[in-house]
């Protein structure tokens, strides 16, 4: 397995220069395009890592998986999906036009920004401070490690430049989709996206999903089986933005990407995987990460299809 991961990193480095780091969030411009890492956590707790797999990065949209799991644990499937659909969009993750024209009554799915903001608003807690504490505590439970935090500089950078997300949030407020204090929900969402982690942390979460809710290190059930299965399904259809269909064909692993460069993958019954590479393609997915996932899937015959 270690040799396979070394080959993954080699392949990732060959394509990393072809993309660009995220620039619409100024702090993310500081990312190093040459960084490439991968980690695997199997269901028995065996861990493998290669490249910069312990380097911390902001999880960005990978936190949509964490928030969705927590909202499902808090409110249940029926309540959560009263507020958001489960359908892929075929449009960019921050599209306003498709939301307003095609489906204005509620966001298409929890993996686009509008849907993620609604999901975050459903998490239990009276204030944004209470909610972010609960999100961080849940993240600590999933990754099996205390000390979770968010990057203050990235959070403030996102808050200063997040006008598209504000537009989405206030559109949803105007139609009655967004309940609660819109500015507080936005602030919480920016904090959530700025949560820090590394490939080992995210591969561990992938292993939990792969085992339908059992933690690979403690063997305790940490999420309900039905919630793990539901989230994996949404990841498969919607987790790679408007490249989700292409990724399903080329790789076939339930996955969720983030513009910080990470990709969370969960191979049912096998292992969790995380790739990292901040050099992105035009759709906001890690170029190195996709190539590593494709190689790994073909090498080990991992496609769920």
Active site residue ranges: 61, 64, 189, 241, 259
**How distant, in Å, are the alpha carbons of 186, 259, 281, 289 from that of 284?**
21, 6, 5, 11
The residues, ordered by sequence, that sit 6+ positions from 19 with a Cβ below 8 Å of its Cβ are 33, 279, 280, 281, 286, 287, 288
The conformational region for residue 76 under phi > 0 = left, psi -120 to 50 = alpha, else beta, is: left
> Of 277, 288, 291, 287, which Cα lies nearest the Cα of 53?
277
Rounded to whole angstroms, the Cα distance separating 194 from 16 reads 23
Bin 147: left if φ > 0, else alpha if -120 < ψ < 50, else beta.
left
């Amino acid at each position: 397995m270690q040799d396979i991961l070394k080959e993954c990193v080699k392949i990732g480095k060959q394509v990393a220069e072809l993309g660009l780091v995220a620039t619409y969030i100024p702090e993310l411009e500081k990312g190093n395009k040459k960084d490439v890492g991968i980690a695997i956590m199997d269901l028995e707790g065996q861990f493998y890592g290669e490249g910069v797999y312990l380097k911390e990065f902001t999880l960005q949209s990978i936190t949509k998986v964490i928030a969705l799991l927590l909202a499902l644990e808090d409110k249940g499937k029926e309540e959560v999906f009263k507020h958001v659909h489960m359908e892929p969009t075929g449009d960019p993750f921050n599209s306003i036009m498709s939301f307003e024209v095609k489906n204005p009554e509620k966001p298409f799915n929890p993996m686009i920004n509008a849907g993620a903001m609604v999901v975050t608003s459903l998490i239990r807690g009276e204030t944004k401070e209470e909610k972010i504490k609960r999100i961080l505590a849940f993240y600590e439970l999933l990754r099996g490690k205390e000390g979770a935090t968010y990057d203050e500089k990235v959070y403030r950078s996102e808050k200063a430049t997040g006008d598209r997300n504000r537009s989405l949030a206030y559109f949803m407020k105007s139609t009655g989709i967004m309940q609660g204090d819109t500015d507080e929900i936005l602030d919480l969402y920016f904090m959530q996206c700025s949560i820090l982690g590394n490939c080992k942390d995210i591969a561990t979460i992938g292993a939990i999903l792969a085992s339908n809710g059992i933690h690979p290190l403690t063997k305790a059930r940490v999420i309900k089986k039905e919630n793990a299965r539901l989230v994996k399904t949404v990841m498969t259809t919607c987790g790679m933005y408007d490249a989700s269909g292409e990724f399903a064909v080329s790789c076939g692993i339930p996955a969720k990407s983030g513009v910080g460069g990470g990709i969370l993958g969960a191979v049912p019954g096998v292992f969790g995987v995380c790739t990292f590479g901040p050099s992105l393609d035009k759709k906001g997915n890690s170029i190195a990460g996709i190539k590593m996932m494709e190689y790994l899937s073909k090498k080990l015959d991992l496609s769920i299809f």
